[in-house]
Amino acid sequence: MTVSAKLTGRHVLAWLAGFFMFMFAANGALIYFALHTLHGEALENSYDASQAFNKRIAQAQAQAERGWKADVLTRAEGAGERVMVEFHDRNGAPIGDLAVTARFQHPFDAALDRSVPLASDGDNYEGVATPIVHGRWTLIIEASRGGQPMFRSENKMTVADTAAD
């Protein structure tokens, strides 16, 4: 015995309504996740960014000619991260008299970026950036003398979650 059903206008209307409801739900989910997840980088002005890039290349070449090295050490301190930096010239002598800044740059959310000036005790520089959430970061160390950039380094790092279990 075979049962056959007739395809009526109501059936077609129900199928179309179900299809479009599914499409609206899928689009709504995609819009929600696009607005509430990681954001891409946005440049204010690409021309200015390209000129800044060329300037950074020239500064990197001058830095390489100076032969300076930096020993960077970080450790958790409270909700933040302590940064300690020692600068040495090509002969290993310590370098003083610098204005040094450490910047923790989040890879996805610029609102989480933290910057801290590092105070000098003569040869070494240190400071604490707070609060730093656990995860991947880029630690940027910048040193200048007399307003002129002298040294820059970018260090990839992971800040561990130090909460007690």
pLDDT tens by residue, 19-62? 999 999 999 999 998 888 766 656 667 787 788 888 889 888 99
| Torsion angle (degrees, nearest 10) of CA 50, 101, 86, 98 | 90
Please report which confidence band the pLDDT of residue 2 belongs to, taking 50, 70 and 90 as the band edges: low
Does 140 fall in a domain? Answer: yes
Does 93 fall in a domain? Answer: yes
Does 25 fall in a domain? Answer: no
In degrees, rounded to 5, the angle at the alpha carbon of residue 62 between the alpha carbons of residues 61 and 66 is 115
Does 49 fall in a domain? Answer: no
Can you tell me the distance from the alpha carbon of 118 to that of 128, in angstroms, rounded to the nearest whole number?
8
- The range of the structural domain enclosing residue 79 comes to 68-159
Q: How many domains does the chain have?
A: 1
Residue with tokens 């607005």: 35
Can you tell me the distance from the alpha carbon of 139 to that of 115, in angstroms, rounded to the nearest whole number?
10
Please report which confidence band the pLDDT of residue 165 belongs to, taking 50, 70 and 90 as the band edges: very low
Which CATH number do you get for residue 109? 2.60.40.1930
The token pair that represents 153 in the structure block = 């380094």
CA nearest neighbour of 118 among 144, 93, 149, 146: 144
Alpha helices in the chain (DSSP H): 9-36, 46-66
3-state secondary structure at position 5: coil
Please report which confidence band the pLDDT of residue 3 belongs to, taking 50, 70 and 90 as the band edges: low
The token pair that represents 149 in the structure block = 């950039």
pLDDT in tens, 74-133: 888 887 888 999 999 999 898 888 999 999 998 888 888 889 999 988 778 999 988 888
Does 91 fall in a domain? Answer: yes
